[in-house]
Amino acid sequence: MANTSTPTLEIANFICRFGETYRLLDLFNEVVSPAFFGNLSRKYDRTRYFIYQPKLIELEVHEGYPVIGLTGRFVKDTFLEREQIFDPVEGIIPDSQEMESAPSSIFLLILNVHRLMYVKETIGAPSINSFRSTIQSFLKKTHKSFTNRLYDENVYLRESEPNSPKVTKKQILSKYPWPSLEVVPLASEQSLEAFVSKYDLLKSLEIKLVEPNDEIDDEDFFDALRSRKDSIKSSNTVLRHSSSKGLDKAEAVEQLKAVVSQGNQKIKMDGTDSYGDKLSGNNESFKIKTALPLNDDGIEAAAKRMYLSFVGLVEHEIIKVPEPTDSAKAKIQAIKSRHLDGG
């Protein structure tokens, strides 16, 4: 591979929702799977983003249930341009050149627990934020196709059965709202402490609750706060601490350590470093990164190494994952039967 340095594995919570009722697994066949397998692309100027060779794989059988992963390459197909070069004798020389370039990253989405593994495998590989933006755009396209299909089916039904009730597009969108996607990097207590220690004064700490997948917060305080958020039907709940004299950094870590490993909250910090310069941070600033050597043995082998690294982090309690609900297990089994067993 062109990148001679050891790649690093990033891990995030992949939160895909369709309003209050439906989540990733509920509309996997109708919306999510076509977003990855539909040969879609997102274009920006002369750059095109797309998924290459997506594949569903069975990673293991855990306590009698299959663990299913969706893996593939995320490609940034673009052009590299230059306008000049430097020569020690002649100095700067105008020299316009361009070349095609297609750096890529490997991803693994564990469907059982909605956790995303992401590795940049080349220099200039697309970021996990570009991946989120691209998948979000794909989900909107496939969701539109899905809702249009439901509308057309009702039109055809009423042609043959005039007494059938009419279903409007507004009614369909009310039942199946537009998709939302959050990709929240996971952190460990160690990576959080390392970042907070950079502050001389931590002046503000903001915690925004993100609508989760089918799981509860590991920290009782945030679980209770989320219950209050839901009971009052709030669409945006933020907890904010601030002090011009500086917050207690050790207590900030103590309050956050139980939740940053789950990825159900967005964190923002502001303050100053030891030089008096402004220092800001968020989940991206203190995310977990672990070395993951890649070999030229294919996507599936790389995905399984990513999964083993993830399992190791869970077993050492560096990150936390929810136990899938019985409903989620049934949906995973149905996905396996349909897509992997040929059912």
Domain spans in the chain, listed from the N-terminal domain onward: 8-144+290-340, 188-286
> Would you state the pLDDT for residue 4?
60
* Nearby residues of 307 by Cβ (< 8 Å), 6 or more positions away: 59, 60, 67, 69, 108, 110, 117
Alpha carbon distance 335, 287 (integer Å): 31
Alpha carbon distance 195, 257 (integer Å): 12
323 exposed, middle or buried (CB, 10 Å; 0-12, 13-18, 19+)?
A: exposed
Q: Look at residues 143, 116, 120, 197 and name the one whose alpha carbon lies nearest to residue 35.
A: 143
Long-range pairs, 25-28, Cβ under 8 A, ≥24:
25/111, 25/328, 25/331, 25/332, 25/335, 26/331, 27/143, 27/146, 27/176, 28/111, 28/331, 28/335
Rounded to two decimals, the pTM is 0.89
Q: What single-letter DSSP state applies at residue 123? A: T
Q: What is the pLDDT along the chain (343 residues), one digit of tens a residue?
A: 455 678 999 999 999 999 989 999 999 999 999 999 999 999 989 999 999 999 999 999 998 899 999 999 999 999 999 999 999 999 999 999 999 999 999 999 999 999 999 999 999 999 999 999 999 999 999 999 999 999 999 999 999 998 999 999 999 999 999 999 999 999 888 889 999 999 999 999 998 888 777 665 556 666 777 777 778 888 788 889 999 999 999 999 988 887 787 888 889 999 999 999 999 999 889 898 888 988 888 899 999 999 999 999 999 888 888 888 899 999 999 999 999 987 5
